[in-house]
Amino acid sequence: MLIEMYGVTKIYPGGQVALKDINLKISKGEFVFIVGPSGAGKSTLIKLIFREEVPTRGQIFFAGKNISRLKRREVPYLRRRIGIVFQDFRLLPEKTVYENVAFAMEVVEASYKDIKRKVPQTLERVGLLHKANARPSELSGGEQQRVALARALVNNPDILVADEPTGNLDPDTSWDIMNYLDDINKRGTTIIVATHARELVDSMKKRVIQLEKGSLVRDEERGVYGK
Amino acid sequence: MKLRTIKYFFRESFTSLIRNRWMSLASIGAVASALIILGSFLLLSVNFDYILKDVESQVEITAYLEDSVDEADITKLNNGIAAIEGVKEIKFISKEEAIEEFKEQVGREILEGIENPLPNSFRIKVNDPHEVAAIAEKIQRFAGIDEVKYGKGIVEKLFNIIHWVRIIGMVIMAVFAAVSIFIISNTIRLTVFARRREINIMKYIGATDWFVRWPFLIEGMVLGLIGSSLAIGILAVAYNYLYIAVKINIPMIALLPIEQFYDYALGFLGIGMLIGAFGSSFSIKRFLNV
Ligand SMILES: Nc1ncnc2c1ncn2[C@@H]1O[C@H](COP(=O)(O)OP(=O)(O)OP(=O)(O)O)[C@@H](O)[C@H]1O
Ligand SMILES: [Mg+2]
């Protein structure tokens, strides 16, 4: 089991209840969509996984280790096992595509040799090797998100979490990104995607977890977006 | 820590120094000015010390003898005083020598035909100027000693002045060190602000807190180092001029030799670096939350 949540509740300072008593297990190799209306708690759930937020109550396990009360200095090592993708790409504008991806390896103190080997290989995987020397501003939205995907993947994470990765993209480009995610998943990386993209979820036939006002209301294998 | 990582830290800090070159220049200038003022006070107090040491070492005790004391007693007294702990040197000045000395100073003619009114005396030098008063008192107790003088008051006053110069110097140094820390911390804050995206991404990728901190620390230390080098250079040139000017115009004042100035330079670089490190860790703590 890669991720386990037991009775997880998140109440933000100020009293907003974002998640209520969530119980949930995600195995290695799964592809999971998290759906639900705005404010349902999708982003909060994802933030709990990579320890951006800590649960108010309940326990979260990552690969068997309880991360709900992780020490501050242990957090980076958890995050190295998780690739994170955001709606707004979060690329560094002054760095080239290559440098943006290499940056992720520099930060975890990879060797020069590994960086030179892994970066082109990962760019190839998202079909962007030919744009290695371009800057993010010279790329389309979809291409930028693929760079972000490469950056999230380059350190071989156990899991890739994406919060509305297609939120800023048109439908065709969204399809493209989802296909890459599917491909990445087929090669063994666990994937969790929070999304509003109804058609994509419906046609991909993956596990769907639905949240409503902080509660888990549906958890279906090969599910659809819902009503 | 890997060599590669160290290289990365330096590359990052220098990139950011150059990227924010105007801010960097401004803060180097500010740090240099602060350190120049700090350095001027340091030099002032060090020189004050140095000159006073010189004056202190010239403080001597004069012990006047009663007229009744004869040749043999003078020798006994001489040996007795010389044996006091802390006495460096004792010299007997006879009535005749004293009047000769006096005549030199005042002019011979005036004193022609007058009977010598001056007593025999000892001139005593001590090892530690702080002990002058205590030793003077011991000498006073010898039989045959009429009066002991040692520039009472002057010695105490001098020590008082040194004391205050040191305290004021220290306070001013602390103030300027704080100002420099503040300036550097502001510069680093700008850098941190300019790079908040990058820091944010680094943290999501799994960079440790220290990995995030180091480039900023280095940047601060480099700013402090460049600022203090500049200050040292300017101070060295200025001090050299001052030293020569004083030597030519006021030869009785002996300033600290220029060579000894360089002994302080190393400490200065250290102070600059520390100020930089302090300044940046301040910003990192407050604005980075790492
Ligand atoms: N940092 C925060 N401080 C206080 N309240 C927050 C914070 N982050 C989220 N919330 C609140 O928690 C609830 C859940 O927010 P969350 O961002 O998880 O929803 P979401 O499902 O991701 O919504 P969306 O689809 O709009 O992204 C919302 O009511 C939100 O206002
Ligand atoms: Mg959200």
Task: List the CATH code of the domain at B60-150.
Answer: 3.30.70.3040
Order of all β-strands in the sheet with B87-93: B87-93, B121-126, B60-65, B145-149
C-alpha separations of A170 from A142, A183, B18, B36, B66 in Å: 9, 20, 39, 60, 114
Q: Which residues of B17-26 are buried (b: 16+ CB within 10 A; e: fewer)?
A: beebeebbee
CB contact under 8 A, B4 and A72: no
**In chain A, what percentage of residues exceed pLDDT 70?**
100
**Which numbered ligand comes closest to the C-alpha of A47?**
1
| pLDDT at position B290 | 47
Please list every residue in chain A whose beta carbon sits closer than 8 Å to the beta carbon of residue B5: 109
SS3 breakdown of chain B: % helix, strand, coil, rounded to 5?
75, 10, 15
C-alpha separations of B290 from A67, A79, B12, B199 in Å: 19, 15, 18, 10
Distance CA A120, CA A62 (A): 30
DSSP code per residue over A160-226: EEEESTTTTS-HHHHHHHHHHHHHHHHTT-EEEEE---HHHHHHHT-EEEEEETTEEEEEETT----
Distance CA B185, CA B27 (A): 9
Residue nearest to atom 29 of ligand 1 (CA): A39
For this complex, say whether ipTM is above 0.85.
Answer: yes
Distance CA B247, CA B251 (A): 5
E strand residue ranges, A12-118: 17-26, 31-35, 57-62, 65-66, 82-85
CA-based R_g, chain A, Å: 17
Domain ranges for chain B, please list them.
3-55+157-288, 60-150
Distance from CA of A224 to the nearest CA of B (A): 30
> What residues have CB less than 8 Å from B142, skipping those under 6 apart?
B77, B80, B81
Report which secondary-structure segment, H or E, holds B238.
helix B209-249
Q: A168 vs B30, which has greater pLDDT?
A: A168
Distance from CA of A50 to the nearest CA of B (A): 8
Q: Report the chain B residue with the minimal C-alpha distance to residue A112.
A: B4
At A125, list the tokens.
Answer: 């995987």
Residue with tokens 């020189």: B47
**CA A39 to ligand 1 center in whole angstroms:** 5
> What residues have CB less than 8 Å from B78, skipping those under 6 apart?
B90, B92, B122
Residue with tokens 């390896």: A105
The mean-pLDDT minimum among A62-76, A83-97, A126-140, B110-124 falls in B110-124
Residue B32 has pLDDT above 60, yes or no: yes
Distance CA A193, CA A202 (A): 14
Angle between helices B3-19 and B154-194 (to 10 degrees): 90
The mean-pLDDT minimum among A158-172, B26-40, B219-233 falls in B26-40
Q: What are phi and psi of B83, to 5 degrees?
A: -80, -10
**CA A40 to ligand 1 center in whole angstroms:** 7
Which atom of ligand 1 is nearest the CA belonging to A10?
A: 12
Check the CA dihedral B28-B29-B32-B38 and report its sign: negative
Q: Chain A to chain B, count of Cβ pairs less than 8 Å apart?
A: 50
Residue nearest to atom 26 of ligand 1 (CA): A38
Task: Tell whether ligand 1 has an atom less than 6 A from the beta carbon of residue A52.
Answer: no
**CA A102 to ligand 2 center in whole angstroms:** 28
Distance CA A144, CA B122 (A): 95
B127-173 pLDDT tens trace: 877 788 888 888 888 888 888 887 656 666 767 777 787 788 778 77
Distance CA B270, CA B17 (A): 20
| pLDDT at position A97 | 97
E strand residue ranges, chain B: 60-65, 87-93, 121-126, 145-149
Which residues of chain A are at the B interface, by a Cβ-Cβ cutoff of 8 Å?
50, 72-73, 76-80, 82, 84, 90, 92, 103-104, 106-109, 111-112, 151, 155
Q: Give the pLDDT mean for A114-139.
A: 96
pLDDT band at B41 (very low <50, low <70, confident <90, very high): confident
| pLDDT at position B109 | 65
Q: Is B203 on the interface with A (CB under 8 A)?
A: yes
User: Which residues are bridge partners to B89 per DSSP?
Assistant: B125
Q: B282 vs A217, which has greater pLDDT?
A: A217
Does the predicted TM-score (pTM) go above 0.90?
A: no
